A and B are shown apart, each in its own frame.
Chain A
Amino acid sequence: MPTVSVKRDLLFQALGKKYKNVEIKRADEEFDELCFEFGLELDEITSEKDIISREQGDVRAAGASDVVLYKIDVPANRYDLLCLEGLVRGLQVFKQKIEAPYYRRVGATDGKPQRFIITQETAVLRPHAVAAVLRNITFTQERYDSFIELQEKLHQNICRKRSLVAIGTHDLDTISGPFTYTAKAPDDICFKPLNQKEESTATELMRLYKNDSHLRHYLHIIEDEPHYPIIYDSNGVVLSMPPIINGDHSKISLKTKNVFIECTATDLTKAKIVLDMMVTMFSEYCAKPFTVEEVEVVCPDGSTCLYPDLAYRKELISGDTINQKVGIKESAESLARLLTRMCLKAEVTGKADEIEVEIPPTRSDVIHACDIMEDAAMAYGFNNIARTKPKTYTIANQLPLNKLSELLRLELAAAGFTEALTFALCSQEDIADKLGKKISDSRAVHISNPKTAEFQVARTTLLPGLLKTLAANRKLPLPLKLFEISDVVLKDDTTDVGARNNRRLCAVFYNKIPGFEVIHGLLDRVMQLLDVKPSRDQGYYIQAASDSIFFPGRCAEIISHGKSVGCLGVLHPDVINRFELTMPCSALDLDIEPFL
């Protein structure tokens, strides 16, 4: 969930609220309530100074601003609420202070739109691009900051850290179209990037940005490509090298009047959404508010498209459907009013209880009627919906394997053993080297991206976890008697994913003496509980076996109804040492699935 921070004073000013200092606490509370009603969460009331002081200490915070900031949690797909402009617009519409604006794409004044030409070279890299012009915009410091901040927020969220979409904004009066979006070898690209004094080749830039705390995160997107994406104007001036950096030449400032916005992308749908967001949010400050000048994008095949999309879509939905899914009984008119407050302009059509809902370009999150219902429910107030009991009548069943596990757990505790709870993930060493086995001989599944060795594999036996639990509790009085009934994971070709869980029972006895008879007695007790008699052919028996885990001559295999179901024995001193234990230890490892 992205967090948006806005200055309280600016927000209240924009919401048309005035307050005296004494009322400020009440104002905070009121805003908190408003956020809740609107599906947002006022996460924190803070200041830049507080934030720096908390993260880096008071000394660093000394000079920082103590202007009050609201940190607001915004639902992940509500890109229209990621800046002050959108937030205020949304809230004002919700409170019925204003009507939702209608966003319009308009032609260029001279009738000739700016052209943005995509060449074939981009196809393998970032094949898509969209663009638009904000004409006669007036920036102030706050508006400018918000404009930059929104780009960053979009980059981090919908743009997936610039991998899907990258935004470039330019002072149109410093460049001249048509613009060409192409790709070139890094050494053939040379320009002065944003806020640098010298021209550099792309190869040099990539080296330079390796140490840039911000940009280094994006280098990997194109780093290993033979060609890098690049945008030129008609005079060969570099606008940007997406998704890394803009050119210094066309950078925008407070004085910029006409803004050229381009978005390059690997996902066209997202590029359109991102461009729509940028222009719908900031066209408010244009001479003709909420109008955006079109740009003609020419694809490599010669086809052309006009952007921004700014598409409005209409959905028809019956009031009854909404009422039925939400669990309320509102008239179609009332529902239409609720939806309109959510920036989804709605009207009853007159045909039965049908409602026509217009989804604006700012609401890219509304992709199905169920999203409309959700907004209706939110505007109605979740807390106003009556709680009802589902009439669904069902008979409960336990999963037989879990039922067996639960029953056995209780009995093992009754037998004097204490339940451990260990991790399902572990290191290769835990299940192989430390047990005197080779990892290649195991049926372990391997994790491809573990952050540490603790998460290399899923366990194939519960024993290492219990031994590590013993090691962490060596100071407790002896004997230590532990058990765990849980799943291990084994590779298995017969399942769709190539692996399956296996429910095991593992127990250890740790004392000054090995206590084989104790662990053997536990096996006998477990078999008694499972109603399996000691018998060669009709029940269970144990027979001598050898395993690197156990001391030679002190290991036995458990055979039940002719099948091997586990083993028990006295641990090998090497195993004891490798798990940093000092006393003899005996163990039981049993597959309980055959006893279902």
Chain B
Amino acid sequence: MADAGLAESVLERLEKLDCGVDSQDVASVLSVDHQAIVGAVKSLQSLGELISAEQRSSKHWELTAEGKEIVEQGSHEARVFNAIPTEGLSQTDLMKLPSGKVGFSKAMSNKWIRLDKGHESGPRVFRMVESIEDTVQDKLVQVQKGLTGKLDEKEKNELKKRKLLSEVTVKSYWLTKGPSFSTTVTKQETDLTAEMIASGTWRDKKFKPYNFEALGVPPECGHLHPLMKVRTQFRQIFLEMGFTEMPTNNFIESSFWNFDSLFQPQQHPARDQHDTFFLSDPAVAKDFPMDYLERVKKVHSEGGYGSQGYKYDWKLEEAQKNLLRTHTTAVSARMLYKLAQQGKFTPVKYFSIDRVFRNETLDATHLAEFHQIEGVVADYGLTLGDLMGVLHQFFTKLGLKKWVEVGNSGVFRPEMLLPMGIPEGVSVIAWGLSLERPTMIKYGINNIRELVGHKVNLQMVYDSPICRLDS
């Protein structure tokens, strides 16, 4: 705490007054610097409602350094006058005096002195009057005494122009007694200590109030990435809905599983170099399940399973091409094929959330890689109504009303399922969406580069709230 004695003096001063007092006046009465009073006021404020202090600002006039000199030594013109003896003084000598230049011209215009240019020993200055009245000094003395009011505006401005006075703005406090006014100040403790608890002295002490306006000290901690936080919630939703996670830890896929097995024709635009990243090393895949591959080839090129097929020349070389998977549906295809191989069909619900890759033109919402969320249900007798129902449940859990905008859904074609060996009568419904899009909506991010990749601002990661999708 600042000088406790001073604080008490302020309180004593305040006790004598009924209305209130300006901190400036307190300073001048107590003859201390105003800043010291301000310090005392602040420390009194921190003690509760001892006093109330309302900040105000006032303008007042103050002497400049030159003005103060004049109060002590007289104005320049007076000093010049006093320096001249009755026999006069040579102009050259007069000009050598500290106040010479300014004082000479002022004293001349006041007609206190005269200049004899034709004097035998060179130009010489003589007094013109017997005595003078130094009004400049008198006015400045008034100001110093705090009696500025005795000067009119014109006088003040003239002195200001001569740089003897300056107008300053002073911040001060209007002090009045507070609800719990008292003239004694007890020293307050900053905080509770182990010693006080042990000795029980805390009972007799007053504690300095906390500033609840300030923020606390941030904890030292690590942070999870917002996109991963959203991924965790999506996993949670799928798990709550009874979906099993697919092994999507295979970024490299063959065109066969990525496209052909899904009944996507080999001339499809998505299989273009402009859309898909193909590999030069390892360039081709091997070890395809050959009987299944033959069935795929047939359904593409000739049809079958009730389909007309695409009727084109299906090429193994196209199917062998390795690529960075363009969707996680490649994994769904592998899983459904595996399911069909297990002998007796059992219904399944699968999901995955993992990276996919597109050789696309990049912009504010598109990157070459993003996370795809995918849900798949395979069972006998599933309907379009079931697809819409499960989508509705899923997006309700997300708290997203306009889900049409962010995702795709559908029923897998028989030309995809039947060659795998999935029994007829089994329908497979599926839907997919990107993880980035809903995350950007959730966290209000417009540019995907501010969310993923090495260029993100970690401060964003530090500051991002937890993810509760349904709220």
* Binding-face segment, A92-100, A337-345, A381-389: A381-389
Q: Which residues of A contact B310 (CB under 8 A)?
A: 269, 367
CB-based nearest A residue for B305: A368
Given the interface pairs A387-B392, A445-B279, A469-B454, the reply to whether A370 lies near B414 with Cβ below 8 Å is yes
Binds B, one of A18-26, A202-210, A320-328: A320-328
What CA separation (Å) do A482 and B386 show in the bound complex? 44
User: Which residue of A367, A445, A503 is within 8 Å of B281 (Cβ)?
Assistant: A445
Are the C-beta atoms of B251 and A367 separated by less than 8 Å?
Answer: no
9 contacts between A and B (CB under 8 A): A269-B312, A395-B244, A399-B245, A419-B224, A445-B252, A447-B324, A449-B359, A466-B454, A469-B456
**CB atoms of B279 and A390 under 8 A apart:** no
Residues of A within 8 A of B (CB): 160, 164, 267-270, 313, 324-328, 367-370, 377, 382, 385-399, 401-402, 406, 409-410, 412-425, 445-451, 454-455, 458, 465-466, 468-469, 471-473, 476, 480-483, 487, 489, 491, 495-501, 503
Of the candidates B246, B312, B384, the one whose C-beta lies within 8 Å of that of A385 is B384
| Chain B residues whose C-beta falls within 8 Å of the C-beta of A388 in the assembled complex | 383, 385-386, 388-389
Cα A259 to Cα B250 with chains together (Å): 54
Question: Are A497 and B221 touching (Cβ within 8 A)?
Answer: no
A425 lies within 8 A of B369 (CB): yes
Q: What separation, in Å, do the CA atoms of A406 and B247 have in the docked complex?
A: 15
Please count how many residues in chain B sit with their CB below 8 Å of the partner chain's CB atoms: 92
- Tell me the residues in window 344-401 of chain B with beta carbons closer than 8 Å to chain A beta carbons: 347-349, 355, 357, 359, 367-369, 377, 379, 381-386, 388-390, 392-393
Which residue of the partner chain B has the closest CB to A420? B225
C-alpha gap A481/B429 in the complex (Å): 43
Contact of B383 among A325, A419, A469 (CB under 8 A): A325
A447 touches B280 (CB 8 A): yes
- Are B242 and A395 in contact, with the CB atoms below 8 A? yes
Please give me the residue from chain A that is nearest to B220 by CB atom.
A416
Kindly name the residue among B280, B385, B393 whose own CB sees the greatest number of chain A CB atoms within 10 A. Answer: B385
Which residues of B lie under 8 Å from residue A465 when comparing CB positions?
454
Give the top 7 A-B pairs by smallest Cβ distance, nearest first: A327-B385, A327-B383, A498-B282, A468-B454, A448-B280, A413-B222, A387-B389
B123 in the interface (beta carbon within 8 A): no
A444 to B455, CA, bound (A): 23
Tell me, rounded to whole Å, the shortest Cβ–Cβ distance linking B368 to chain A: 6
> With A and B bound together, what is the CA distance between A395 and B241 in angstroms?
9
Assess the B413–A368 pair: CB atoms within 8 A: yes
User: Chain A nearest CB: distance from B337 CB in Å?
Assistant: 12
New contact pairs (11) apart from A392-B349, A448-B278, CB-CB < 8 Å: A269-B312, A313-B308, A327-B384, A368-B307, A389-B390, A396-B240, A399-B247, A413-B224, A446-B280, A500-B252, A501-B249
Q: Which of the candidate stretches B23-31, B78-86, B285-293 sits at the interface with the other chain?
A: B285-293
- Is B411 within 8 A of A414, CB to CB? no
- What sequence of 0s and 1s flags, for each residue 219-232 of chain B, a beta carbon within 8 Å of any chain A beta carbon? 01111110110001
Q: Is B415 an interface residue (CB 8 A)?
A: yes
Q: How many residue-residue contacts, CB under 8 A, span A and B?
A: 257
* Chain B hits for A395, CB < 8 A: 242, 244
Known: A325-B427, A419-B223, A448-B280. A498 touches B245 (CB 8 A): no
Q: A324-B381, A325-B383, A497-B252 are in contact. Are A425 and B368 (CB under 8 A)?
A: yes
Which residues of B have CB within 8 Å of A483? Answer: 222
Q: Does B48 contact A (CB under 8 A)?
A: no
Q: With contacts A419-B223, A445-B281, A451-B359 known, is A402 near B307, CB below 8 A? A: no
Of B91-99, B110-118, B457-465, the stretch lying at the interface with chain A is: B457-465
Known: A416-B220, A423-B369. A386 touches B385 (CB 8 A): yes
Within the assembled complex, what's the spacing in Å between the Cα atoms of A399 and B245?
A: 5
- Shortest beta-carbon distance, A174 to chain B, in Å? 34
Closest to A391 in B: B379
Is B303 touching A367 in the complex (CB atoms < 8 A)?
Answer: yes
Contacting residues, chain B, for A386 (C-beta < 8 A) = 385
B101 at the interface (CB under 8 A from A): no
Q: Give the shortest distance, in Å, between A195 (CB) and chain B (any CB).
A: 29
Bound state CA distance, A104 and B424, in angstroms? 37
Give the shortest distance, in Å, between A187 (CB) and chain B (any CB). 31
**Chain A residue contacts of B459, Cβ below 8 A:** 476
**B141 part of interface (Cβ distance < 8 Å):** no
**Are B355 and A419 interface neighbours, CB within 8 A?**
no
CB neighbours of B284 from chain A (8 A): 498
Give the docked Cα–Cα distance between A390 and B221 (Å).
Answer: 44
Tell me whether B311 and A269 are in contact (CB under 8 A).
yes
Distance in angstroms from B373 CB to nearest chain A CB is: 14
For residue B149, CB closer than 8 A to chain A, the reply is no
Return the chain A residue nearest B429 by Cβ.
Answer: A390
Of B281, B286, B415, which contacts A496 at CB under 8 A?
Answer: B286
Q: How far is the CA of A270 from the CA of B228 in the complex (A)?
A: 45
Minimal Cβ-Cβ distance residue in B for A499: B252
B252:A458 contact, CB within 8 angstroms: yes
Which residues of B have CB within 8 Å of A406?
232, 235
Asked if B421 is an interface residue, CB under 8 A from chain A, the answer is no
A472 engages B242 (CB within 8 Å): no
Tell me whether A412 and B222 are in contact in the complex, defined as CB-CB below 8 angstroms, given that A164-B267, A328-B385, A387-B388 are known contacts. Answer: yes
Using Cβ atoms and an 8 Å threshold, which residues of chain B touch A416? 220-222
Q: Are B273 and A368 in contact (CB under 8 A)?
A: no
* B251 pairs with A401, CB closer than 8 A: no
Q: For the complex, give the distance between the alpha carbons of A480 and B251 in Å.
A: 30
**Complex contact B385–A425 (CB within 8 A):** no
Whether A415 pairs with B222 at a CB distance below 8 angstroms is yes
Establish whether residues A396 and B238, one from each chain, have CB atoms under 8 Å apart when the complex forms. yes
B349 touches A413 (CB 8 A): no
Query: Do A487 and B249 touch (CB < 8 A)?
Result: yes
Rounded to whole Å, the gap between the CB of A444 and the closest CB of chain B is 8
Contacts of B223 in A (CB 8 A): 413, 418-419
CB proximity of A86 to chain B, nearest CB, Å: 21
How far, in angstroms, from A44 to B284 measured CA to CA in the complex?
A: 43
Give the docked Cα–Cα distance between A324 and B392 (Å): 20
**Complex CA–CA separation, A387 to B243 (angstroms):** 19
A323 to B, closest residue via Cβ: B383
Most buried by A among B225, B241, B246, B390: B225
Q: A394-B349, A449-B278, A489-B252 are in contact. Are A368 and B454 (CB under 8 A)?
A: no
Bound state CA distance, A406 and B250, in angstroms? Answer: 18
Considering the chains assembled together, what is the distance between the CA atoms of A448 and B283 in angstroms?
9
Complex CA distance for A414 and B219, rounded to whole angstroms: 11
Task: Closest A residue to B228 by CB, please name it.
Answer: A419
Bound-state Cα–Cα, A369 to B224, Å: 49
In the assembly, what is the distance between CA of A268 and CA of B267, in Å? 13
CB distance from A80 to the nearest CB of B (A): 16
Within 8 Å CB of B367, what residues of A? 423
Contact A368 B308 (CB under 8 A): yes
Query: What's the Cα separation between A483 and B458 when bound, in Å?
Result: 12
A469 CA to B225 CA, complexed, in Å = 13
Contact in complex: B355, A424 (CB < 8 Å): yes
Considering the chains assembled together, what is the distance between the CA atoms of A468 and B449 in angstroms?
14
Roughly how many angstroms separate A395 CA and B308 CA in the complex, as a whole number? 38
B444 interfacial by beta-carbon distance below 8 Å: no
| Chain A residue, CB-CB nearest to B388 | A387
Q: How far is the CB of A393 from the nearest CB of chain B, in Å? A: 7
| Cα A412 to Cα B239 with chains together (Å) | 23
Min CB gap A425→B, angstroms: 6
Instruction: For the complex, give the distance between the alpha carbons of A469 and B458 in Å.
Output: 8
Q: Mark B299-329, 1 if CB is under 8 A from A, else 0.
A: 0000101111111110000000010100000
Whether A500 lies near B222 (C-beta < 8 A) is no
A390 x B222 contact (CB < 8 A): no
Q: Is B385 touching A394 in the complex (CB atoms < 8 A)?
A: no
User: Does A489 contact B251, Cβ atoms closer than 8 Å?
Assistant: yes
Contact of A425 among B287, B357, B379 (CB under 8 A): B357
Q: Using known A-B contacts A324-B383, A368-B415, A395-B242, determine if residue A487 contacts B251 with beta carbons closer than 8 Å.
A: yes
CB distance from B410 to the nearest CB of A (A): 9
Task: From known contacts A421-B453, A449-B278, infer whether A326 and B225 are also in contact, taking CB-CB under 8 Å.
Answer: no
Say yes or no: B379 contacts A369, CB within 8 Å.
Answer: no
| Chain A residues near B456 (CB-CB < 8 A) | 421, 469, 472
